[in-house]
């Protein structure tokens, strides 16, 4: 279990531009996803899906991002459009984590399903760290845009929890300069 504690304590976000080939192999991707699906899951709903985006599909996703930008901002500069189009090319692998939400489940409210998918995304990142890969969890407007969701086969009731960019880190970023002070975030309730 000490390896798990190390992965938890050493996990950090790597700027996507620092993530290069080699990406995880198919077997490693399968192992990453096996780790992700052990997330806590009230009601055993398995409220997550994963969309693997690599190779030329990254360019196609970039085209979708550019299309969304020009729809929403018709006067966007060519530089901004190019920047948005190139975002998915910053790492060799992206895994979109989807919360597949049953809006009317009698026991498990949508928020718990969303949280479970978020934990799956976190476990995916931790597994990548444990395997020696760098990763970053990104969202932004594209994660919530109906066109992006439709292109990735995400139903309107479901949510893109994030795009997990994964690759081999070219540089290890320093630890966060300012770690939160634990005591600022913890209290103990005594029932008073």
| 45 is a domain residue | yes
pLDDT at residue number 180: 84
| 75 is a domain residue | yes
| 192 is a domain residue | no
Q: What's the CATH code of the domain at 61?
A: 3.40.109.10
| 12 is a domain residue | no
Extract the tokens encoding 125.
């990142």
pLDDT at residue number 2: 62
Supply the pTM of this predicted model. 0.92
| 29 is a domain residue | yes
| 117 is a domain residue | yes
For the residues of the chain, what is the DSSP string, one character each?
-HHHHHHHHH--BPPGGGEESPPPPHHHHHHHHHHHTTS--TTS---EEEEEEETHHHHHHHHHHHHHHHHH-TT--HHHHHHHHHGGGGSSEEEEEEE---TT-SSS-HHHHHHHHHHHHHHHHHHHHHTT-EEEEE-SHHHH-HHHHHHTT--TTSEEEEEEEEEEESS-PPPPSSPPPGGGS-------
**pLDDT, tens digit, for every residue of 150-180?**
999 999 999 999 999 999 998 887 777 777 8
Report the residue count for the chain.
Answer: 192
Average the pLDDT over 83-112 and give the result. 96
| 186 is a domain residue | no
| 49 is a domain residue | yes
**pLDDT, tens digit, for every residue of 71-83?**
999 999 999 999 9
pLDDT at 35 over 90: yes
Average the pLDDT over 88-97 and give the result. 98
Domain count, the chain: 1
Average the pLDDT over 107-125 and give the result. 96
Average the pLDDT over 39-56 and give the result. 96
Cα–Cα nearest to 61, from 153, 137, 133: 153
Domain that holds residue 141: 24-170
């Amino acid at each position: 279990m000490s390896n798990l504690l190390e992965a938890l304590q050493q996990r950090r976000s790597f700027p996507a531009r620092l993530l290069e080939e080699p990406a995880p192999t198919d077997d490693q991707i399968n192992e990453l996803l096996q780790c992700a699906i052990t997330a806590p899951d009230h009601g055993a709903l398995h409220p997550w899906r994963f969309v693997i985006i690599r190779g030329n599909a990254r360019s196609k996703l970039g085209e979708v991002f550019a299309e969304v930008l020009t729809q929403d901002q018709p006067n966007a500069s060519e530089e901004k459009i190019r920047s948005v189009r190139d975002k998915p090319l910053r790492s060799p692998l992206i895994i979109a984590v989807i919360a597949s939400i049953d809006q009317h489940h009698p026991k498990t409210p949508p928020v718990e399903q969303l949280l479970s998918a978020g934990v799956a995304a976190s476990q995916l990142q931790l597994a990548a760290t444990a395997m020696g890969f760098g990763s970053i969890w990104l969202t932004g407007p594209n994660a919530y845009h109906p066109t992006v969701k439709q292109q990735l086969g995400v139903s309107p009731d479901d949510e893109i929890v994030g795009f997990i960019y994964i690759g081999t880190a070219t540089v290890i970023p320093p630890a966060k300069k300012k770690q939160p002070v634990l005591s600022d975030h913890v209290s103990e309730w005594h029932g008073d």
